Chains A and B, each alone.
Chain A
Amino acid sequence: MKIIGRGAEAVLYLENGELVKERIEKGYRIGELDEKLRKRRTRLESKILSRARRAGVPTPAVSETTDYKIIMEFLEGERLKELLGRVSPERRKELALEVGRLTGTLHSAGIIHGDLTTSNMIFRDKIYFIDFGLAFHSESVEDRAIDLHLLHQAYQSTHFQYLEELWSSTLRGYKENFKDWVKVEKRLGQIRKRGRYSKR
């Protein structure tokens, strides 16, 4: 068992060529609560991965879900985080446009990713969205705008040299695939003024 990643609540490892995401026990919370949360979240993430895929957003195919584990396809590709830094400006815009389209599709399906960064996007034959650990169902303007805001922040921190071109392409793609974008764009402006993405 080779651990390839360790997040705040799960470990990732390869087993028989597949990727296993296992939510690990947290010693700080009581057993009843710990079990309930890990089961519920594993189930939800697995469901959202499949729903997103059916809606047209490429995600790793889930082959099995147990109480605390999701066993899924291991995508061998390159993270957009690195890829964006080494391609031509034209290609960069194309990729950013596609990121916007996929986000629009996801939101149209009533799904919020919750952690949209270029580390959570893998390019193989096309762009895949991964890590739906913070994803949830919502159709609210606020949740959608926050999702986009987080993506903008990720661009800002990792790809600041070409932030403007990336962002305008992404917004264009988003508008193509999400028809209610006017409200979201307006809310996004308000969120930026708040300084942070909280509801206050």
Chain B
Amino acid sequence: MNRFIPECLIITMICLGVESTAHTFGVGIVTEKGKILADVKDTYKPKLGSGIVPQEAKEHHLRVKEKVVEKALEEAKLGMGNIDLVAYSQGPGLPPCLWTGMEFAIKIAGDHDIPVIGVNHPVAHIEIAKLVTGTQDPVVIYVSGGNTQVIAYASGRYRIFGETEDIPIGNAIDTFARKAGLPHPGGPEVEKLARSGHYVELPYVVKGMDLSFSGIATAAVKLLKGGKKLEDLCYSLQETCFAMLVEVTERAVAHTGKKEVLLTGGVAANKRLTEMLEIMCRERGATFNAVPLKYAGDAGAMIAWTGLLAYKSGERTEKKDPISRWRTDEVEIKWLTRGEPQV
């Protein structure tokens, strides 16, 4: 049989990804070539002054899911019939949110008789960051309200080279901002006030590759109550936390010999942090990239893209249930191991 297939009929695979680990319910549509056709999200906002209530987040996601997927298809100018694969964030995350995303993904995939694949959320952050910045093999800094990790690929996995042993960096800054009575989100406010501040000593805690931020937040709050200027504390808080993070990143770069550094996660928006990383990279002869904010936060596109990479490398999700605790370095990165000797 030697059938001729016209060029126009050879279409690349298209994946629809569902993100639902915490606040954000997102749907993204991405082609096998890495073209992002749509990325729509709707984010649950907790009541003023309170943190995320998982049950409320779940109800929010249930309420918006149909609308978000419709909007994404519209943005991509596609129908469900054009979709070849559905991916969902399988974990880690808040169980009620994860279940909502998984059930929805299975439902729409089942309705159209297409495969469904589960994706690790932090790995998806890394993959979308690499895609949109065009980096190949970077040391990745993943910083958000919920994460502080320095990650690099080595023999089949994204290995964690450094991370916080207590609270994430964004959380430390938010905590201080809240105690100082600054409006939410605290990060941008602290950044603004820091511009006119001067240095006050705060604990600097780096142990090998591990970071600790809880002591700094506590100390800063204490100093504020003791009468120190808010601007000075904002400045010192940023300088101290970021210097710690950059130090561990530099160590990872020196250790792995990698030539690229990539910053992602919500804190990637901070200008001072990006500036510090830029200087460190220049001094070390590495290139630096920060992910545009649109793709630094939780989004469906990152799940879609990573689902495609995994599916094409032969990955299949047998057990579909959410994995609420799932470490980045537990995931086998099959799409990078091809042609590499297995360890």
Contacts and interface: CB of A to CB of B under 8 A. Distances in A.
B246 interface: yes
Contacts of A7: 254
Contacts of A196: 160, 327, 329
A30 B199 contact: yes
Given A114-B208, A195-B327, A29 B243 contact: yes
B239 to A, nearest CB: 5
B283 interface: yes
Interface stretch (B2-10, B56-64, B172-180, B272-280): B272-280
A30 B279 contact: no
Contacts of B253: 8
Contacts of A37: 204
Contacts of B204: 33, 37
B160 A26 contact: no
A24 to B, nearest CB: 9
A134 B206 CA distance: 10
Interface residues of A, number: 22
Interface in A118-176: 134, 136, 146
Contacts of B246: 28-29
Contact of B279 (A8, A27, A32): A27
Scoring B251, B329, B330 by chain A CB atoms within 10 A of each residue's CB, the highest score goes to: B251
Given A8-B251, A198-B163, A199-B165, A33 B329 contact: no
Interface string A163-200: 00000000000000000000000000000000110111
B240 A33 contact: yes
B280 A26 contact: yes
Interface residues of B, number: 29
Contacts of A195: 327, 329-330
A115 interface: yes
Contacts of B275: 28
A198 B165 contact: yes
Given A26-B280, A115-B208, A8 B250 contact: yes
B207 A30 contact: no
B70 interface: no
A33 B276 contact: no
Interface string B254-292: 110000000000000000000111011011000000000
Q: Is the interface of A mostly helix, strand, loop or mixed?
A: loop
A196 B210 CA distance: 11
B198 to A, nearest CB: 9
Contacts of A26: 247, 280, 283
B5 to A, nearest CB: 46
A8 B246 CA distance: 11
B283 A27 contact: yes
Nearest to A136: B207
A28 to B, nearest CB: 4
A35 B149 CA distance: 26
A170 B330 CA distance: 28
Contacts of A27: 279-280, 282-283
Interface string B160-171: 100101000000
Contacts of B201: 36
B124 to A, nearest CB: 19
Given A7-B254, A8-B250, A195-B327, A33 B199 contact: yes
Contacts of B243: 28-30, 33
Contacts of B240: 33
B210 A199 contact: yes
Contacts of B208: 114-115, 134, 146
A9 B249 CA distance: 12
13 contacts: A8-B247, A9-B247, A9-B250, A27-B279, A27-B282, A28-B243, A33-B199, A33-B204, A33-B240, A114-B207, A136-B207, A195-B330, A199-B165
Given A9-B247, A114-B207, 19 more contacts: A8-B250, A8-B253, A8-B255, A9-B251, A27-B280, A27-B283, A28-B246, A30-B199, A30-B243, A33-B199, A36-B201, A37-B204, A136-B207, A146-B208, A196-B160, A196-B327, A198-B165, A199-B165, A200-B165
Which A-B residue pairs are the 8 nearest by beta carbons? A8-B254, A28-B276, A28-B279, A29-B243, A8-B251, A199-B165, A28-B280, A27-B279
